[in-house]
Amino acid sequence: MSSIKDIAGHKQVSDALLETKERLQAIMDASPMAISWADFEGNLEYNNNKFRELFGYTIEDIPTIREWRRRAYPDPAYRDSLPSLFNSLIEAQKQDREMTPIEITVTCKDGSIRHAAQMGALVSNRILAIYNDITESKKTEEALRESKERLQAIMDASPVAISWADFEGNLEYNNRKHFELFGYTIEDIPTIREWRRRAYPNPSYRDSIPFLFNAITEAQKQGREMTPIEVTVTCKDGSIRHVTQMGALVSNRILVIYNDITELKHYQNFLENLSATDGLTGISNRRRFDDFLEQEWRRAMRSKTPLSLILMDIDLFKGFNDNYGHLAGDDCLRQLAQCLAGIIRRSIDLAARYGGEEFACVLPDTDLEGAMWVANRIRQKVNEMNIPYTFSSIANHVTISMGVATLVPVPGQSLSDLIQNADNLLYMAKQNGRNQIRGEL
């Protein structure tokens, strides 16, 4: 929870609030919290949109703090029990401590009741009052504490990071959430250019992200809302955060809002990995294999580089299951998958369960010689594993047969050509005695 002392003492907030009345009102009307502004004589000068939406009162209804208290707290006993916001702020400053949020029950203009947590700040010669609506969350003290923690600086009640810059690209303000998420202060990133350099250190990635100002103005020209831009931010400590970035033009300033989706992104990646993983063996499944092979086929077509495919089959696996049982068969499949995972180590390669007792390896940028070397390494390792299979007519341990195909894709060829070649070669290996590798262009 942002402290009132920090809000009042934050130079950038003060500068932003005092620069112009137009800018102040734009900030406050964009806030999801109710905000009221009064002078030290108790004259209310401004209530934002959220204030009017929550409580129904306009400045004409409540021209002074005294009238606000009379209308909002009609019960004199309750009204007298509430400390003055101004006095509370002064007392907190004298004692050099944070102001404690005041929980209030407000009678709205239409007679309905709302519960709110009231906080404030002394800014120049004005009193800023902030009301966080806790009507729905006031079921337990825990809900209230969470609501207080969500109370942020003036420009946000929700956990979003906000940055404020002029049209020359000078960053004037980052809110507390911005600092919490990314770790940068204004001194670290005084300009948008420096923010982009620090947040997106990879030049190719940085160049691929549209300038927010251009994206905002383009959306305005087309009379539509700006589409959120998903970006990956490198924080000051070197960690990575995923956020959606949006913005608005307010007066002569650029308001940038970042919504942290790091956890959501991790969860999405987890689900994607889960959906692409074979549940029994833990390596990639057929769906992932199909997607990856198609992607690498297109890339090989563009770059005119070789793409190799190894298809392999455990020899006489039905007999293994019949004699040792399906649990032993599953364990055999897992051991073979671990073998493949230990050999197929390049980040650009893929080992997958193709189906049943069949496995496959996709080897981009690999010619037939290289693919045959990998295949022989796999076959050697499987033999060294020496998984007992005394009922086999080939050997006294589990063996595999493999077909290895390589193509440099050219127009007129299709991915099915590569798969069919590898499948034919696997068939030849099995027809000619099994426990062998067949490969040719």
Smallest CA-to-CA distance from 374 within 351, 357, 358, 353 is with 351
Structure tokens at 143: 């809900």
How far is residue 187's CA from residue 108's CA, in Å, rounded to a whole number?
A: 44
DSSP 3-state of 271: helix
Q: How many CA atoms lie within 13 A of 346 on its CB side?
A: 12
How far is residue 361's CA from residue 272's CA, in Å, rounded to a whole number?
A: 20
DSSP 3-state of 347: coil
Q: In 24-101, at which residue ranges do the beta strands (DSSP E only) sit? A: 34-39, 44-47
* Burial category of 290 from C-beta neighbours within 10 Å (exposed 0-12, middle 13-18, buried 19 and up): middle
Q: In 62-125, at which residue ranges do the beta strands (DSSP E only) sit? A: 102-107, 113-123
Chain length of the chain: 441
Choose, from 194, 357, 358, 384, the residue flagged as catalytic.
357
DSSP code of residue 305: -
Indicate if 142 belongs to the active site.
Answer: no
**Residue 114, beta-bridge partner list:** 106
Answer for the pair 169, 192: CB distance below 8 angstroms, yes or no. yes
How far is residue 337's CA from residue 210's CA, in Å, rounded to a whole number?
A: 43
Q: Which residues of 158-181 are buried (b: 16+ CB within 10 A; e: fewer)?
A: eebbbbbbeeebebbbbbbbbeeb
DSSP 3-state of 308: strand
Structure tokens at 25: 């009102």
* C-alpha distance from residue 269 to each of 261, 265, 296 (Å): 12, 6, 21
Kindly tell me the sign of the dihedral angle through the C-alpha atoms of 347, 349, 354, 359: negative
How far is residue 312's CA from residue 427's CA, in Å, rounded to a whole number?
A: 10
Answer for the pair 307, 371: CB distance below 8 angstroms, yes or no. no
How far is residue 264's CA from residue 272's CA, in Å, rounded to a whole number?
A: 12
Smallest CA-to-CA distance from 154 within 144, 145, 164, 146 is with 164
DSSP 3-state of 171: strand
Catalytic residues: 357
